[in-house]
Amino acid sequence: MTVVRTIVGMSGGVDSSVAALLLRDANEPIAGLFMQNWADDGSGDCRAEDDRRDAVAVCGRLGLPIHFRDFSKEYWDGVFAYFIAEYASGRTPNPDVLCNREIKFKHFLDAARDLGAERIATGHYARVANNAGRWQLLRARDRAKDQSYFLHQLGQAQLAATLFPLGDLAKPEVRRIATEAGLPTAAKKDSTGICFIGERDFREFLSRYLPAKPGEMRTPDGRVVGTHPGVFYFTLGQREGLQLGGVRGFDAAPWYVVGKDVERNLLYVDQGSDSPYLLSGVAKTETAHWIAGSPPASAFTCTAQIRYRQTDEACDVQVTDDGTLEVRFARSQRAMTPGQSLVLYDGDVCLGGAVIASTDAPLEITLPLPRREAAA
């Protein structure tokens, strides 16, 4: 009987399918494992059962055993509860980062070890290297698909027990490999967004957990230009859903969210995607996580991303005594958003990152006194 050394996280998509294929063809003793992370809420929008069938079909095609684990309670407690609490506080969380830390590289890794395996593999686009005895998380060769941003909360123990077989491949090559191997997921559309939301309207979904709380929409100088259904439904820089067409006394330029006052239930909006109220150059963060276990220095220069697929931005980082960061960017950043992840890089090496706590955006420093003047 062959001893399985690696358990591949089978999501039912083409990436994990090809990851399994590559390991099998390299004679790695493997098995698959399908994780259910969200309990069916009856909406029909989460495609977990379809993904499960595809994962089974791929493992059947590859001649691999497959296991199943239900992590929906762990997901609710470790990811979804935080997601809702963050939105309720007016911040914009990133559940993919938490899912990786709490589910895929914690509970999944534990399950793999319970099955007798030494390590796990996933279809993430990233690379792992060992440099002088320390594990490093590296960007994928295909920068357009690189997912190290979402993996920055991993540490030495997780990286030592993880394989990323797709790290050196471009997405078209992955599709080609899947097609030539006759994998049933070869042409399957990539999943987007979060499983528990699926294709449904985000605001409708969130309203199930955060009931509507209408309030005023104001300009930065306090003029009332409309109403909103709840500040937690919006994020900085958002344009869609404001329903502010043709406000009398203003030109026809589009409106954007530039600030939120949760305590007073006010949503601040301004016109133009380049509004100065969307710009900031300094971020303060929560306690940082370092992949190496510690920061490279108490003060250093590197690059950062404040959102997925953003171009690298030069910055100076100051590590404070309590482990939080003050990050000063070489140029102003647009819509730097509390609750989102700020991830630090030294070339292709991901150093770690932290959740943005606050910025020096104008409406975070001082909000104007209310003006009860409605638009004429």
pLDDT value, residue 374: 38
State the catalytic residue, choosing from 46, 99, 302, 315: 99
Examine the residue annotation and report whether 59 is marked as an active-site residue of this protein: no
248 and 148 fall within a common domain: no
More confident residue, 299 or 193: 299
Task: Tell me the pLDDT tens digit for each residue of 115-132.
Answer: 999 999 999 999 999 999
Which of 46, 59, 195, 315 is an active site residue? 195
Q: Please tell me whether residues 249 and 307 are part of one structural domain.
A: no
Domain-embedded: residue 193? no
Does the annotation mark 99 as catalytic?
yes
Residue 96 sits in a domain whose CATH number is: 3.40.50.620
| 134-139/126-131 β-pairing | antiparallel
- Regarding whether 104 and 10 lie in a shared domain, the answer is yes
Task: Summarize pLDDT for 86-126 with one digit per residue, the tens.
Answer: 999 999 999 999 999 999 999 999 999 999 999 999 999 99
Task: Let me know: does 228 contact 323? Beta carbons within 8 Å.
Answer: no
Confidence of residue 375 (pLDDT cuts 50, 70, 90): very low
Domain that holds residue 337: 279-364
Q: Which of 323, 322, 288 is nearest to 304 (CA)?
A: 288
pTM to 2 decimal places = 0.92
The residue with tokens 């977990």 is 48
**pLDDT exceeds cutoff 60 at 240:** yes
Integer Cα distance of 260 and 266 in angstroms: 6
10 and 130 co-located in one domain: yes
Cα Rg of the chain, angstroms = 23
Check whether 159 has a pLDDT greater than 80: yes
270 with 286, same domain: the answer is: no
Residues 131, 245, single domain; the answer is no
CATH number at residue 226: 2.30.30.280
User: Lowest-pLDDT range, 37-51, 65-79, 165-179, 320-334?
Assistant: 37-51
Q: Do 49 and 134 sit in the same domain of this protein?
A: yes
Instruction: Compare 207 and 128 and report the one with higher pLDDT.
Output: 128
One domain for residues 232 and 127: no
* CATH classification at residue 339: 2.40.30.10
